[in-house]
Amino acid sequence: MKTKIYYHHTDCGGVVYYGKYLDFFEEARTEFLRERGIFVKELMEQGVVFVVARQEVDYKLPAFYADTLEIETQLLELSKVKMVFICTAKNQNKQKVCSGKTVMVCVGKDIRPRAIPEEVRKKLTKDR
């Protein structure tokens, strides 16, 4: 996923605010799922929700106003109730800006862990 850095992504020095990377990673994960035919809104309507259980971020270089970032998303691990994603952000010069590891857990409407639906698992493992 590519994203352009706008003024509202930055701090007063024109550097991307560190917390914005979590937004970028979430958007990239959503696109990753959508590209595989998994639509978060439809799952939510069925009572299936993925929540972030853990987030790690490593910052390497700053990104600046007007940069373009490319976010690469990979599914690192898939278990009965958990998905682990790695997202890597690179700038327009192909330099690694930051990376993040996100642990997501499948829950129901009661916010208790539940099994990831089989049709979702099949779509995630199709290319693996």
pLDDT tens-place values along the chain, 128 residues long = 999 999 999 999 999 999 999 999 999 999 999 999 999 999 999 999 999 999 999 999 999 999 999 999 999 999 999 999 999 999 999 999 999 999 999 999 899 999 999 999 999 998 65
Residue 122 domain-assigned (yes or no): no
Residue 126 domain-assigned (yes or no): no
Predicted confidence at residue 126, as pLDDT, reads: 83
CATH code for position 71: 3.10.129.10
Q: Give the separation between CA 73 and CA 15, rounded to whole angstroms.
A: 23
Predicted confidence at residue 128, as pLDDT, reads: 57
Exposed/middle/buried for 41, CB within 10 Å: 0-12, 13-18, 19+? exposed
Residue 128 domain-assigned (yes or no): no
Instruction: Quote the tokens at residue 54.
Output: 């853990």
Q: Give the separation between CA 32 and CA 14, rounded to whole angstroms.
A: 29
Residue 125 domain-assigned (yes or no): no
Identify each DSSP E strand in the chain by its residue range.
2-4, 49-59, 68-78, 82-90, 96-107
Predicted confidence at residue 82, as pLDDT, reads: 98
Fill in the DSSP letter of residue 8: G
| Active-site residue set | 11
Question: Hey, what amino acid is at 4?
Answer: K
Q: Give the separation between CA 61 and CA 58, rounded to whole angstroms.
A: 10
pTM, rounded to two decimals: 0.93
Number of domains in the chain: 1
